[in-house]
Structure 1
Amino acid sequence: MILTSALQAIGNTPVVRLQRIVPAGSAQVLVKLEGGNPTGSYKDRMALAMIEGAERSGRLQPGQRVVEFTGGSTGSSLAFICAVKGYPLSVVSSDAFSPEKLRTMQAFGADLVVVSSDQGRITPDLFVRMRHEVDRIVASDNAFWTDQFNNEDALDGYAILGQEILDQTAGTELHTFCAAVGTGGMMVGVGRTLRPHLNRIVALEPASSPMLTKGFGGAHRVEGTATGTIPPLLAEGAYDEARAVEEAEARELVKSLSRQEGVFAGTSSALNVLGAIQLASELSPDQTVVTVAADTGLKYLAGDLYL
């Protein structure tokens, strides 16, 4: 089939069953490989849903500038969507995030504002300073802010991800869905679709920034997660349990994922898989845990993740 737009290439990513790194006697672990989207991230779904939702409502006018602050993948995805649709884009990001992501935004034509971090660490105050830059651009350029942390249109894109999981696992009894929380959109959107078909939804976060489990944020290096606040989209009842996962263990798991399972992904994906394996160890072999590999490992080769 010939597509009429690159936007139609978003979605329909595969689900794989892990074969070698899940301990014997555990539940099955399934992983949705979102690196197969056009920019290598599940944020393509969210970006498209936010832009098209704004178009339908009239909040975004033809040729109007779009702006967002982001840890990287949302910026890459918005740059892709805006390039295809013809909107100028300003992205506010930071040197705390992978240079591959920043370069991808520029490759699609976005204007990039880089806010300095605290020695490459992701801290709560970093997002405050990035938000100030967004406010400046909105005021000076009459830009439309997609506001990913509050934009409910994003849930529509993630609901499709959830439906794909259901369609691809037809005949398999799903017990638990787990994923790390950034904006909370994926957890809520997928959860709404999967909730009637599951026993449990578990929110994950890096143990060094345990806002959901202990009520305070902290510095970490898991891009796309744990902003140091409870995201507004993460409504009450969106998950059944929150768990903190050790970032160091997740970073080690990245290598096993690629070298034993062929799943090439980044730190947040490894956090998801590590959480899924831990949950699977508490269940029986006839049960199933499903999670998401959020993006491709190609976004992390310039750093120390794969050294």
Structure 2
Amino acid sequence: MSFPGIQRSTLQAIGGTPLVRLDHVVPEGAAQVLLKLEGGNPTGSYKDRMALALIEGAERRGVLRPGQRVVEYTGGSTGSSLAFVCAVKGYPLTLVTSDAFAPEKTRTMRAFGAEVIVVPGEGGQVTPDLFARMRQEAHGIVEREGAFWADQFHNTDAHAGYTGLGREILRQTESGGASVDVFCAAVGTAGMISGVSAVLRQAGSRARIVALEPSSSPVLTVGTAGPHRVEGIATGIVPPLLTADVLDEARTVDEAEARRMALRLAREEGILAGTSSALNVVGAIGLARELGAGHTVVTVAPDTGLKYLTGDLFEG
């Protein structure tokens, strides 16, 4: 393993995360499942990649001026990542979030110096109207203060943030003597699955791209939104960044099964990850069973389970 020299900024610590093979939770006779561990990024989330791309893209275009306030609505991981990037670059930041998300995320945003506005949720669940209410609050701040809206759901700079992730997957699988047969991941803004898909296809990969979502909110597969407790995904809409050329297929995963898998990942694989990571793994295992031995399914653990320790995810 090689290590870089001294980095001039914590922003350069983003990326370069490991890709590991799951040994214990994947059944015998299935394809190998490789998991990209994004918890190694500075805030413990792959959203660090996107946050840097959103801010630096705006800087290059001249739509974000020195000292201008940045605004975004967020389930927490994007907010934490934007708070980190804005702290390093010196931008004031206002984030709109909800008490439906893990309190660790709100505390992280405030620790980096962001102003945080909390929109009440309903029964601790991510409901179809929650993101609409958060978006309305953020829009009001932009109108009143002339702030720059990072706009993660529409900003195509998000793709650039995740091309590095796609290139890393290609290099890591090739150096390990494998090729990607399927790449699957749950969809929030869809920036990650879109960015990785573009890289794989530009490289000539024939990998199948599969979007995952909780069966309790099957917007992509059925067109119906519903409440759930998987943070960071299934926001109740088909995200604008998820264009028709990105996907080959969309599938649902049972949320209860994903929550059980989070515990298995910790206790059998030594991987402490959240519910969206576990949902990705459950979806990947289903695909691995169908493909069989001699194939490779790649998915992503978007963040670290350290963000979810105050909830009930790891009880049992």
State how 1:1-307 maps to structure 2 within 5 Å. 1-170=5-174, 171-195=177-201, 196-307=204-315
Task: Give the drift of 1:141.
Answer: 1.4
Counterpart CA distance in 2 for 1:157 and 1:199 is: 21
Task: Give the drift of 1:173.
Answer: 2.0
% identity of equivalent residues = 66
Task: Give the drift of 1:191.
Answer: 0.6
Amino acid at match of 2:182: T
8 Å Cα contact 2:215/2:253 also seen in 1: yes
Moved over 4 A (4+): none
Task: Give the drift of 1:140.
Answer: 1.7
Amino acid at match of 1:113: I
Counterpart CA distance in 1 for 2:207 and 2:9 is: 38
8 Å Cα contact 2:34/2:298 also seen in 1: yes
Counterpart CA distance in 1 for 2:312 and 2:106 is: 17
8 Å Cα contact 2:70/2:92 also seen in 1: yes
Unaligned runs of 5+ in 1: none
8 Å Cα contact 2:39/2:301 also seen in 1: yes
Task: Give the drift of 1:175.
Answer: 0.5
Task: Give the drift of 1:220.
Answer: 0.3
Amino acid at match of 1:151: N
Number of residue equivalences: 307
> 1:237-259 deviations in whole A, cap 9, x for unaligned?
21100000000000000011011
Unaligned runs of 5+ in 2: none
8 Å Cα contact 1:138/1:144 also seen in 2: yes
SS at match of 2:220: helix
Taking structure 1 as the reference length, what is the TM-score of the superposition?
0.99
Amino acid at match of 1:80: F
Task: Give the drift of 1:303.
Answer: 0.7
Amino acid at match of 2:46: Y
Taking structure 2 as the reference length, what is the TM-score of the superposition?
0.96
Counterpart CA distance in 2 for 1:277 and 1:194 is: 21
Tell me which moved more, 239-248 or 136-145: 136-145
Amino acid at match of 1:219: P
Amino acid at match of 1:153: D
Task: Give the drift of 1:199.
Answer: 3.1
> 1:144-165 deviations in whole A, cap 9, x for unaligned?
0000000000100101100000
Counterpart CA distance in 2 for 1:13 and 1:63 is: 31
> 1:182-229 deviations in whole A, cap 9, x for unaligned?
001001001111133133110000000000000111000000000111
RMSD: 0.7
8 Å Cα contact 1:177/1:198 also seen in 2: no
